[in-house]
């Protein structure tokens, strides 16, 4: 039987919505647990619980590697298949979520995730102060995507340095897969640095951006297997499968997309193929660093920006440690998390 290593899990049927609100607190060893609020369709609430347990543990790692004084948590609400919330139902549900969070006496704070937005965080904020990423005009830290892009840029500099001895991205061959909130901003930054860019999105309307940036457009079906220095996944998770690994032609993979590995074993397969994989939760931490620094820790935007730039050092150290110990960067990251939580 696997060990239950969460501090607390609450499942509460919301009195207004009638829906089960799950809050999983994995760890508060480093400080208040944080993690987004996911409102999504699941087969049943057991699946939602499994998701909450998995993602909250991932948040502990993300915060620990980012040097934040926070632990990991997660809220998940399982919507029955086919259910669409109207405005009043959505508000009721968000107030149910807020009341559960408030009942935890500050052990956990939430932010946006799949199925929720910064505006939803403001609604949760009606009933609890333990919430982040509210819109800027409502006193929050606002859109996290520019900060996620800035953090990924820092991680890319460290990756470039590890591959080629210098961190300048000028001339570096990169494929950015996904040109949404984060990917577009990142592609613009990379183009401004003189990187040799290829870009891709399932949305053909994004071709205009490729033309603007002087980037080559790649068909989404072929985007992951381009011959580049660094592949930058910036769309959905689960893309690094056992099947795709033999076909990859990149030297490294560093991108913000969450949960890139289809299964944890894929990290070892990448290592065997000599492809560097920077854990997504390290490369994509800029947004959460910004939101927590500004909204929960009372820091300034400049302090948050400085912390985001530190991602370059963090990734540099991880890659150097992994190389000298002959382990994967994923394993090196895990050891650094365990070290931080124990000391
Ligand atoms: N927004 C943040 O601050 C943040 C923070 C950490 C991690 N992330 C992760 O980064 C990734 C991107 O986030 P985002 O906010 O930019 O999302 P988004 O929804 O704004 O953009 C995703 C883009 O990917 C495209 N896309 C989807 N499937 C694709 C495919 N198969 N090939 C190519 N393009 C495809 C979509 O059309 C869209 O343009 C997600 O995995 C997200 O979880 C985002």
**Ligand 1, pocket-test mutation among 146, 181, 239, 290, most atoms within 8 A of CB:** 181
Tell me whether the CATH fold assigned to 8-59+71-138 matches the one assigned to 145-284+313-342. Answer: yes
Start-end of H helices in 144-229: 145-164, 181-192, 207-213
Q: Is residue 3 flagged as an active site residue? A: no
CA dihedral sign of residues 59, 64, 65, 67: positive
Residues 199-233 have pLDDT tens digits of 999 999 999 999 999 999 999 999 999 999 999 99
Q: Are 206 and 167 in contact (CB under 8 A)?
A: no
| 44, pLDDT greater than 90 | no
Interatomic CA distance for residues 65 and 338, integer angstroms: 10
Please give the distance, rounded to the nearest whole angstrom, from the Cα atom of residue 312 to the centre of ligand 1. 22
Of all residues in the chain, what percent carry a pLDDT higher than 90? 92
| Cα–Cα nearest to 236, from 210, 215, 256 | 256
Active-site hit among 74, 168, 185, 342: 74
Closest residue by CA, ligand 1 atom 18: 180
Which residues, 6 or more positions from 161, have their beta carbon under 8 angstroms from its beta carbon? 167, 316
Task: Classify strands 276-277 and 252-253 as parallel, antiparallel or unpaired.
Answer: parallel
Please give the distance, rounded to the nearest whole angstrom, from the Cα atom of residue 144 to the centre of ligand 1. 13
Once rounded to an integer, what is the mean pLDDT over residues 275-280?
97
Structure confidence at residue 80 as a pLDDT band (50, 70, 90): confident
Q: Are 161 and 297 in contact (CB under 8 A)?
A: no
Q: Are 12 and 100 in contact (CB under 8 A)?
A: yes
SS3 assignment, position 139: coil
SS3 assignment, position 232: strand
Give the per-residue pLDDT at 235: 94
| 1, pLDDT greater than 90 | no
SS3 assignment, position 24: strand
Please give the distance, rounded to the nearest whole angstrom, from the Cα atom of residue 12 to the centre of ligand 1. 31
Once rounded to an integer, what is the mean pLDDT over residues 131-138?
94
The finding on whether 299 has its CB within 6 A of some atom of ligand 1 is no
The finding on whether 58 has its CB within 6 A of some atom of ligand 1 is no
The finding on whether 180 has its CB within 6 A of some atom of ligand 1 is yes
Q: Where are the domains of the chain?
A: 8-59+71-138, 145-284+313-342
Once rounded to an integer, what is the mean pLDDT over residues 240-257?
97
- State the greatest distance between any 2 C-alpha atoms of the chain, in Å, as a whole number: 58
Give the per-residue pLDDT at 81: 84
Q: Are 198 and 175 in contact (CB under 8 A)?
A: yes
| 343, pLDDT greater than 80 | no
Please give the distance, rounded to the nearest whole angstrom, from the Cα atom of residue 4 to the centre of ligand 1. 31
Predicted TM-score of the model (pTM): 0.92
Structure confidence at residue 2 as a pLDDT band (50, 70, 90): confident
Interatomic CA distance for residues 252 and 157, integer angstroms: 12
> What is the secondary structure of 84-114 as a DSSP string?
---HHHHHHHHHHHHHHHHTTTTSEEEEE-T
Interatomic CA distance for residues 188 and 193, integer angstroms: 9
The finding on whether 181 has its CB within 6 A of some atom of ligand 1 is yes
Closest residue by CA, ligand 1 atom 39: 180
Give the per-residue pLDDT at 179: 97
| 198, pLDDT greater than 90 | yes
Residues 169-188 have pLDDT tens digits of 999 999 999 999 999 999 99
**Which one of 3.40.50.1110, 3.40.50.10860, 1.10.1060.10, 3.30.930.10 gives the CATH number of domain 8-59+71-138?**
3.40.50.10860
The finding on whether 244 has its CB within 6 A of some atom of ligand 1 is no
Fold for the domain defined by 145-284+313-342: Rossmann fold (3.40.50)
Q: Are 40 and 72 in contact (CB under 8 A)?
A: no
**Ligand 1, pocket-test mutation among 63, 178, 202, most atoms within 8 A of CB:** 178
């Amino acid at each position: 039987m696997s060990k239950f290593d969460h501090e607390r899990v609450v499942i509460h049927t919301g009195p207004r919505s009638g829906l089960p609100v799950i809050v999983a607190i994995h760890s508060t060893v480093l400080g208040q647990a944080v993690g987004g609020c996911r409102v999504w369709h699941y087969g049943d609430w057991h699946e939602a619980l499994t998701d909450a347990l998995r993602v909250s543990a991932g948040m502990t790692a993300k915060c620990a590697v980012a040097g934040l004084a926070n632990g990991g948590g997660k809220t998940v609400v399982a919507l029955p298949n086919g259910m669409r919330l109207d405005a009043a139902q959505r508000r009721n549900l968000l107030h149910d979520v807020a009341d559960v969070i408030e009942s935890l006496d500050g052990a956990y704070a939430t932010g946006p995730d799949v199925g929720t937005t910064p505006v939803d965080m403001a609604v949760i904020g009606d009933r609890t102060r333990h919430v982040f990423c509210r819109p800027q005009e409502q006193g929050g830290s606002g859109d996290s995507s520019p900060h996620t892009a800035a953090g990924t840029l820092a991680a890319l500099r460290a990756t470039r340095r590890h591959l080629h001895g210098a961190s300048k991205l000028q001339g570096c061959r990169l494929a950015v897969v996904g040109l949404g909130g984060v990917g577009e901003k990142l592609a613009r930054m990379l183009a401004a640095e003189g990187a040799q860019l290829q870009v891709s999105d399932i949305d053909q309307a994004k071709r205009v951006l490729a033309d603007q940036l002087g980037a080559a457009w790649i068909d989404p079906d072929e985007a992951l297997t381009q011959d580049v220095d660094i592949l930058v996944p910036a769309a959905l998770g689960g893309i690094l499968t056992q099947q795709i690994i033999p076909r990859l032609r990149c030297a490294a993979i560093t991108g913000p997309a969450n949960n890139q590995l289809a299964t944890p074993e894929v990290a070892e397969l990448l290592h065997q193929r000599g492809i560097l994989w920077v854990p997504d939760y390290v490369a994509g931490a800029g947004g959460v660093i910004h939101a927590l620094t500004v909204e929960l820790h009372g820091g300034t935007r400049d302090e948050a920006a400085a912390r985001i730039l530190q991602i370059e050092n963090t990734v540099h150290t991880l890659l150097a440690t992994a190389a000298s110990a002959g382990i994967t960067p994923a394993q090196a990251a895990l050891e650094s998390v365990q070290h931080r939580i124990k000391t």
